[in-house]
Chains A and B, each alone.
Chain A
């Protein structure tokens, strides 16, 4: 599902975030991306979401070489993946309903069908009944789950999350990780960037360890 092949990323300010990263994540796999801050976790997720382009090397997602995706096609590409952001990135002046429905509205799904799918997604993250609330009326954990519901509502084959438990207390963090586990169990490829090593050990999933822009441990049993 995801393949990085000798990927380098150097930002305009000269900082080299990735220095020859290669790894592979298979269909339906759950993988955690760990490492100190600045190790390159966020850069990898940004390359997958096409927020950034690699300086060198190839990123292949869902059989598409991202170097071949023209900027005009980026919106279309992004609709195929679900992304959960650390700061949630919700529309604060819109109710939860509209926030979660956004990917469906963009994809042109009729309203009735969209409403049904939004409710299903909210049910999966345990927020059914909060459709009319505004994001700022919700707790951080709930906002995070609204973000997750939005990421999965269009049923993408790939779900990526950037530090989804960063602002959550341990119990909520554990619940959130379990949620990702459940998505992977129904066939969604899930990649989560986190520095919460204990939680990963608890869940017992694959760990890709980054260090200074390189893969230190691909987490495959050798």
Chain B
């Protein structure tokens, strides 16, 4: 009964505070809008980054190592090496392109068929195409793998083109930090904005707060509706952020897919999942609550009847 009354009272305040902020739709919308934009901005950037990362993930072939065997090695050496490499933890897959097969493909694709027939000897070596495991698909991991394979007997050379991948990863790292930084600053901004909004609200309702205190309301009781107002601002702002995010991904979807297809990738922009959307709302509500807590705790304590 007592607990029930407690929750009923909280629920009442919760709904009551919604009613109050809805009474000033324009001001409320402005506050929520600021929160929405502040949250959406780093999220759009993050969305872009996340997708950039999964796009480079799709381009895993870029990490493939081409292992050229020594021409003098016996024919049985290539399958043996293939087996050996497959056992390594940092290797996901190994494909053998035998010298004959390579020559045949080259003849079919290049159009030099007749000219190649003139060769008495196959100039191409046996080749193993090694795909590193996902864990090893970093610039460092592939470098280590390359060194290990180069040291194996009968390996002529190992080719790996990682320069552009390294640069891309570097760029993503920098961008990610920029996102964190702006995110942090904007989070602070949300706390301050809500704090200021609640402060003005408290000052406007000074007379009411005095009356509450005169009839025996504690600071905590008086503060409660303001905290709930903050919570509503946060939830509203978070919801607006999600809408902005949906619009952003809608606008970017077409061009990104087109760009990806130009690079021969079937990469598509991915939106936020349900869990992610819920945490956006949660974080927005938390920040706004923090802001209103700061303002309400400080300013309600300062108001005393005289």
Once bound together, how far apart are the Cα atoms of A79 and B214, in whole Å? 9
**Cβ-defined contact, A106 with B221, below 8 A:** yes
Which of the residues B2, B215, B305, B306 comes within 8 Å of A106, measured between beta carbons? B215
Q: Count of B residues near A, CB < 8 Å? A: 21
Pick from B4-12, B92-100, B241-249 the stretch touching chain A: B4-12
Does chain B have a CB within 8 A of A122? no
Task: Find chain B residues with CB under 8 A from A103 CB.
Answer: 215-216
Q: Which residues 188-243 of B sit at the A interface, judged by CB distance below 8 A?
A: 208, 210-219, 221
Does chain B have a CB within 8 A of A89? yes
CB closest chain-B residue, reference A106? B217
Minimum CB–CB distance from A58 to chain B (whole Å) comes to: 22
Task: Find chain B residues with CB under 8 A from A107 CB.
Answer: 216
Q: Mark B1-23, 1 if CB is under 8 A from A, else 0.
A: 11001101100000000000000
**Cβ-defined contact, A49 with B214, below 8 A:** yes
Which of the residues B5, B6, B9, B214 comes within 8 Å of A78, measured between beta carbons? B214
Once bound together, how far apart are the Cα atoms of A75 and B300, in whole Å? 13
CB closest chain-A residue, reference B2? A108
Which of the residues A51, A91, A108 comes within 8 Å of B6, measured between beta carbons? A108
Does chain B have a CB within 8 A of A221? no
Task: Find chain B residues with CB under 8 A from A93 CB.
Answer: 208
Task: Find chain B residues with CB under 8 A from A44 CB.
Answer: none
Which of the residues A51, A75, A90, A110 comes within 8 Å of B216, measured between beta carbons? A75
Q: Which residues 72-116 of A sit at the B interface, judged by CB distance below 8 A?
A: 75-79, 83, 85, 89-91, 93, 102-103, 105-111
Q: Given that A51-B306, A108-B9, A110-B5 are contacting pairs, would A89 and B210 also be in contact in the complex, using a CB cutoff of 8 Å?
A: yes
Q: Mark A47-80, 1 if CB is under 8 A from B, else 0.
A: 0010100000000000000000000000111110
Extra inter-chain contacts (7) besides given A79-B215, A108-B6, A108-B9, CB under 8 Å: A78-B213, A78-B214, A102-B212, A106-B212, A106-B215, A110-B5, A150-B215
Can you list 13 A-B contacts with CB-CB less than 8 angstroms, sorted by A residue number? A49-B214, A75-B217, A75-B219, A76-B216, A78-B213, A78-B214, A79-B216, A83-B214, A102-B212, A102-B215, A102-B217, A103-B215, A106-B217
Residues of chain A whose beta carbon lies under 8 Å from any beta carbon of chain B = 49, 51, 75-79, 83, 85, 89-91, 93, 102-103, 105-111, 150
